[in-house]
Amino acid sequence: GEHIVPGTAKRRLGVMGGTFDPIHHGHLVAASEVAARFHLDEVVFVPTGQPWQKSHQTVSPAEDRYLMTVIATASNPQFSVSRSDIDRGGRTYTIDTLRDLRSEHRDADLFFITGADALAQILTWRDAEELFSLAHFIGVTRPGHPLTDPGLPDGGVSLVEVPALAISSTDCRARVERGDPVWYLVPDGVVRYISKRQLYRNGAEGART
Ligand code: ATP
Ligand code: MG
């Protein structure tokens, strides 16, 4: 086995980016599973900034998405939330997320966690080559999306099977709009926050990823 001298090991920091509109148990179980498998010290959830394009007007306000992410992760001492993408503003590019986290945590190794659907797009992301120098990428299984190596540089990506939860934020929003329950799909505190703030009730539902 690997011998690590106490105090000299690099911190291992997971990064879970998402719109989190709302955050649900699929996100949480993916982060938890990867944290255990990869011996991560911490997983930082990074809600995306508020998209300014017209086609994305259906995204809930950044502060609501941020607070739901805080509520959902608060009880786990390994989980935290970063405002980095929200405070930068504009459209979120993963390259900016990773540059920010890198300068904030100079000593850490970064592990970017992404579902199978997002992984398939990865090579089309901005500055793809630099992405892989900033973080190790971990693709997790997601029901309905085949998990395949998108042809990243050698050793740049790991594929990990996580417990299959067929939950999406799109479905959660549609359920709330229809008056169907989201109990047990999202954490209890998030159910209450959605109802308190009356999110997803205005029929502004739009298909997006
Ligand atoms: P939407 O339907 O609005 O796109 P979503 O459920 O896909 O929402 P996102 O915020 O887009 O959630 O996803 C953030 C990250 O979490 C992405 O990498 C996505 O692939 C991953 N993810 C989302 N849901 C699951 C799930 N059920 N299992 C595994 N990974 C997931
Ligand atoms: Mg999505």
The three state secondary structure string of 41-57 is: CEEEEEECCCCCCHHHC
Which residues touch 57 (CB under 8 Å, ≥6 apart)?
Answer: 204, 206
Q: How far is the CA of 30 from the centre of ligand 1 (A)?
A: 10
**Does ligand 1 come within 6 angstroms of the Cβ of 73?**
no
**Does ligand 1 come within 6 angstroms of the Cβ of 114?**
yes
Residue nearest to atom 9 of ligand 1 (CA): 18
What mean pLDDT is reported for the chain?
89
Lowest mean per-residue pLDDT among 141-145, 149-153, 169-173? 149-153
Q: Do 90 and 52 form a contact (C-beta atoms < 8 A)?
A: yes
Q: How far is the CA of 50 from the centre of ligand 2 (A)?
A: 15
pLDDT given for residue 208 in this prediction: 42
**Does ligand 1 come within 6 angstroms of the Cβ of 33?**
no
Flag whether pLDDT at 56 surpasses 60.
no
Pocket probe mutation, ligand 1, options 16, 73, 142, max atoms within 8 Å of Cβ? 142
Residue 197 is encoded by which pair of tokens? 């703030």
- Domains, the chain, in order of start with CATH, read 12-167 (3.40.50.620)
**Does ligand 1 come within 6 angstroms of the Cβ of 65?**
no
Q: How far is the CA of 147 from the centre of ligand 1 (A)?
A: 14
Flag whether pLDDT at 177 surpasses 70.
yes
Residue nearest to atom 2 of ligand 1 (CA): 170
Tell me the residue type at 2: E
- Find the radius of gyration of the CA atoms of the chain: 17
Lowest mean per-residue pLDDT among 12-16, 158-162, 199-203, 205-209? 205-209
> SS3 of 15, please?
strand
Residue 50 is encoded by which pair of tokens? 């508020």
Flag whether pLDDT at 205 surpasses 90.
no
Q: Which residue has the higher pLDDT, 69 or 55?
A: 69
Looking at the CA of 121, which ligand is closest?
Answer: 1
* DSSP assigned state of 167: -
Flag whether pLDDT at 178 surpasses 90.
yes
Flag whether pLDDT at 54 surpasses 60.
no
Q: Is the confidence metric ipTM above 0.85 for this complex?
A: yes
What residues pair up with 145 in beta bridges, in sequence order?
A: 142
Q: What is this structure's pTM? A: 0.91
Lowest mean per-residue pLDDT among 71-85, 110-124, 142-156, 172-186? 142-156
115 to each of 2, 36, 62, 158, 167, how far by Cα in Å? Answer: 29, 17, 21, 12, 12
Cα–Cα dist 52/41, whole Å: 34
